[in-house]
């Protein structure tokens, strides 16, 4: 019988993190942004049927990058969690914070248990509030940590670069068209800095719209409505540039 090699815990964790990150990087990135009336999810997705974004509960949406079968499994687990909780207690007792915690525990325990393969996914759980101050966005990396985000967040392989781009240009109170165009701009930048075109039919867009009269706020934006939003003449970058310039000068 052979003796197993000793691997230090640090090394084991680093290996697992490396493995998960590589898996996630194979998928395309996606972004989640706050806008005046809610939260918009934007990603490049050539499939019409296999979604990256979906509804979990009345005000809660889900976005994921990485391995499809793994995040689909987590998504259905989340829907079951939310529906069972709402059925046992009340619809108001289902919150994004609770769901994010459950996901974090699930990702974290699997990540640190040596026997199981870590999830190759990065999730976003978002809840739209009655006002922009009530919006909550949580990012859940593969290791089960929780990051409470504000304004904009990017996940996936190229997330860091896209995230920086968004941080500089995103501002509170953007219209849906502005936010959507900013998101597409961010997604169409390649790692080497060059831009490419993402046609509308390859985009998957969904919103959590607080102005919807129904209690279920999640809605997919497809077809004509998507084209109209992308074509609208509202400038996506100019006012933000001016604002960031101002911010820089006031800092000086």
Partner 1 sequence: MEPNTRSTGRLPAAFLTPGSSSFMDFLADHSPELLPGRRTLPPVQGVIEAPHGTTIVAASFPGGVVLAGDRRATMGNMIAQRDIEKVFPSDEYSAVGIAGTAGLAVEMVKLFQLELEHFEKVEGAQLSLEGKANRLSTMIRSNLGMAMQGLAVVPLFAGWDLERERGRIFSYDVTGGRSEEHGFAATGSGSLFARGSMKKLYREDLTEQQAVTLVVQALYDAADDDSATGGPDVARRIYPIVAVITEDGYRRLTEAESSEIARSILERRLEQPDGPRAELL
Residue placing its CB nearer to partner 1 in the complex, 11 or 105: 105
Contact between 212 and 204 under an 8 Å Cβ cutoff? The reply is: no
Please give the radius of gyration of the chain, using alpha carbons only, rounded to the nearest integer. 19
Residue placing its CB nearer to partner 1 in the complex, 87 or 147: 87
State the Cα–Cα distance between residues 178 and 169, nearest whole angstrom. 11
CB of 212 to partner 1, least distance (A): 11
Residue placing its CB nearer to partner 1 in the complex, 87 or 242: 87
CB of 157 to partner 1, least distance (A): 25
Residue placing its CB nearer to partner 1 in the complex, 88 or 130: 88
Residues that bind partner 1 (CB under 8 A): 49, 51, 54-56, 73-74, 76-81, 83-88, 101-103, 105-106, 108-109, 214, 216
Please tell me whether residue 45 adopts helix, strand or coil conformation: coil
Q: Which DSSP symbol is given to 85?
A: H
Phi, psi of 138 (to 5 degrees): -120, 135
Burial class (CB in 10 A: 0-12, 13-18, 19+), 49: exposed
CB of 130 to partner 1, least distance (A): 21
CB of 214 to partner 1, least distance (A): 8
State the Cα–Cα distance between residues 121 and 12, nearest whole angstrom. 19
């Amino acid at each position: 019988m052979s003796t197993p090699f000793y691997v230090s815990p640090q090394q084991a964790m680093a290996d697992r993190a490396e493995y998960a990150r590589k898996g996630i990087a194979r998928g395309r990135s996606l972004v989640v942004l706050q806008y005046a009336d809610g939260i918009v999810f934007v990603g490049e997705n050539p499939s019409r049927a296999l979604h990256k974004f979906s509804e979990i509960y009345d005000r809660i949406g889900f976005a994921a990058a990485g391995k499809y079968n793994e995040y689909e499994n987590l998504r259905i687990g989340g829907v079951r969690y939310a529906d069972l909780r709402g059925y046992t207690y009340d619809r108001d007792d289902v919150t994004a914070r609770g769901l994010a915690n459950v996901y974090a525990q699930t990702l974290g325990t699997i990540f640190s248990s040596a026997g199981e393969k870590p999830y190759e996914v990065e999730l976003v759980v978002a809840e739209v509030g009655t006002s922009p101050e009530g919006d909550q966005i949580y990012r859940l990396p593969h290791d089960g940590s929780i990051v409470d985000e504000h304004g904009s967040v990017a996940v996936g392989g190229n997330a860091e670069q896209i995230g920086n781009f968004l941080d500089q240009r995103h501002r509170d109170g953007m219209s849906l068209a502005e936010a959507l165009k900013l998101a597409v701009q961010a997604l169409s930048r390649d790692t080497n800095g060059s831009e490419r075109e993402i046609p509308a039919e390859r985009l998957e867009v969904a919103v959590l719209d607080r102005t919807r009269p129904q209690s279920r706020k999640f809605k997919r934006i497809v077809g004509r409505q998507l084209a109209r939003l992308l074509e609208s003449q509202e400038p996506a970058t100019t006012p933000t540039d001016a604002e960031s310039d101002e911010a820089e000068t006031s800092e000086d």
